[in-house]
Amino acid sequence: MRLRENINESNRYGNLWIYPFNCYVDDKPYKNKRITSIYDEFKNKAPLPEGAVVGNAKMTVEYTANGEASDWLLGTFGIISFSPEIGLIQRDANGFFPNKDVIFPVVS
């Protein structure tokens, strides 16, 4: 039951997989080809839910963001990371804090 309470307190803007370079308009400012290839491979080959959008903040939520968690993890520790936003294919239907009746079908 505790998990159900916590899920309601997270944000779920849409079916998004946000990766680093969030202060840029494009996703190629990082010069390390190995790191870039890992994100490119995920974007092109991962078995994601239908309608998933993969990219940096500008590509997914349509604004740039300074200091997003995946930027910090990669830049400070070299950790490959994502900030997933669970939600429905119709992103606008989710809202930032959707109703519980929308959450459970998405995470089931």
Residue 15: other Cβ atoms inside 10 A:
23
Q: Once rounded to an integer, what is the mean pLDDT over residues 22-43?
A: 82
Number of domains in the chain: 1
Residue 16: other Cβ atoms inside 10 A:
23
Residue span of the structural domain in which 19 resides: 2-107
* pLDDT tens by residue, 54-102: 988 888 888 888 878 888 898 899 899 988 887 665 555 555 566 666 6
* Nearest partner of 105 among 49, 61, 59, 30, judged by Cα: 49
Q: How confident is the model at residue 2 (pLDDT cuts 50, 70, 90)?
A: very low
